[in-house]
Structure 1
Amino acid sequence: MAALITQELRKGWEFKQAAAEEWLPVARVPTNVHLDLMDNKKIEDQFLGFNELKCEWVGHKDWIYRVTLPSISTTKHGTKHVLAFDGLDTYATVELNGHTILESDNMWIMHRVDVSDKLSSSNGNTLPIYFKAALPESQRVKAAYPEHKWVGFNGDMARLAARKAQYHYGWDWGPVLLTCGPWRSARLETYHAWVEDVRVDYEVDASFKKVSGAITATIEGAAGETVDFCVKLGEEQILNGTAEVHNGKAAVDFYIDDPKLWYPHGYGEQTLYNVTATVRGGDESLHSVTKRTGFRKGELVQELDEIGKSFYFRFNGIDVFCGGSDWIPADSFTPRITEARYGDGSR
């Protein structure tokens, strides 16, 4: 058995308007159709002059993206090949070698599709993704429910019928740019067992001196027999335990004396523990996932007063003030937001 192999589908894509013949190159994925049309000098920068209006046609057309998958070795018994799509914008149909393997109408949903029985061991596994134009499609969905009152104050009200970024339809501060495409990462994963999820359930006692709870790992793949669990604070090992996998789950209980608790900013440290789950088949490590978690006792305080009820939060016995601010996308085209731009706010 082999450990998880991940092949990112970043390069080698091409795209075209569904009704056209010419395929155009895609520089990278994640992407969207407007970025790729700009790269191919088919449209101009929509944030200059009246170019936004000149490219409205893009959002009224259907588009196709396609890529040839990396070669794979002959599938052995128990080996899984999974196509993972972290985000498809929005009305998308995915095919593989002529078979429809996925239909999605929600840009926020992450998909995983087992394609073990649909891949050829020879080269040439073709993956086209068909994207319907969002505006007419969402207008069709809206029209199907005439009894519903669609209430909004900006943009086409069909946006309310779509699980798509609402600002794409026009906002008080932004242009109408109805995107489509693989806007988040896509990849081919090959494995015998995979840690699908790690969940930490816990309780901080009334004295704030002890944390107790359970760590549960969800495992996909029949080859996973046991899971090793480890909890660390920095380099200090807090927990080390092993549990057998039953019905796709493995779990261990844990106890921490004198924990370093997590506090909101300004009230204390934001201490985070590293929680690692490693699935094994016999003595072989097949996949490992590490998550960070902070332990805190959080309470919503609603006590009767002269007006009605209070509404504030208490963390680790400390009453805190909670405020917020409105965050809008740093760019109408989120695939081109780099970590550096997001972090320092540069344009």
Structure 2
Amino acid sequence: MTIDHATVRLTFGDDLFLRRHRSVGTPIVNQFVWRLDDVAPTSALVRLRDELARGALSRRADRPRVPGARGRWSRAPHAPPIDVEPTVLQDCDVVDWLRANHTAPLHPGRGESWRLASARLSDGGSLLSLIVDHAVADGGAMVDAVERATSGRAPLTLPDRDGTWGALRADLEDATRQVRAVVRWGATSALRRRGGATSSAGATPAPTPDGPTAPEGWVVPTVVAECRTADVEAAAARHGGTLNTWFVALGASLVVTAGITDEDGPVVVALPVTARGADDPRANATRIARVAVDPRDLRRHDLAPLRAGCRQAYA
């Protein structure tokens, strides 16, 4: 199905990730990886690439023609090439190959928003990697695009770039709405301050500590752990939790063990929550809930309080 122009304006999250790409030079890229028991035929890879190219991942970020209006997404007119690794990878080479593939150049402003890559493994299997610029899709959008491409469901097709007077008028209307929203927000904030809220005017901002500088060529250490889902679910259930709360507890435990936070203070964990509806064309539609994890519960291996906290955060 083809999406109307009015529904494909850049959201706050899209704009945030796009600014990191354009201005800061530190783009965030999402990566899906499949490890297959055999080597996927070239024809299957081309078919998957072509189906993905018909869908919502193939989008280009167009700048608005009116100051104050949000940018809009349009259909990218081309499909990316498939990156095929010429050498056979050993197990010890897998993480390095995935990391190198993760840094392949993307440019949403030119419609170069995703890439597909494959590699053969020494055990007869293969790897398939899909990278997508985060401005173009969150995890939910990637899952939806892949599911549509492999199941025969109709793709979400974005409209072509619109350079007509109608698009100019739509930009003007959107800019007017954005200005009105900012004015309302400013007026509401002023009324709250007049109502007795504590003002931060004149307060001295806390100094920002300088972070450590990584040496040239340094990369983040990586550990890959493979666990059977049934085993993790059983372990979580024994301690009063679920697979999700076990994963939250694992992340909080790593932070505590690494000494990043006070070992007796709560660890605040961000919980992604999808706000994506059916046939939703938004690139990023994820909201964040937050739960405070008590390190004492972690030491007791008690997931019940965390499970209750997650439920409350989601609600």
TM-score category, normalised to shorter length:
under 0.3
Greater relative CO (CA pairs within 8 A, separation 6+): 2
More helix by share: 2
More strand by share: 1
Q: TM-score, normalised by structure 1?
A: 0.24
Q: TM-score, normalised by structure 2?
A: 0.26
Rg (Cα) greater in structure: 1
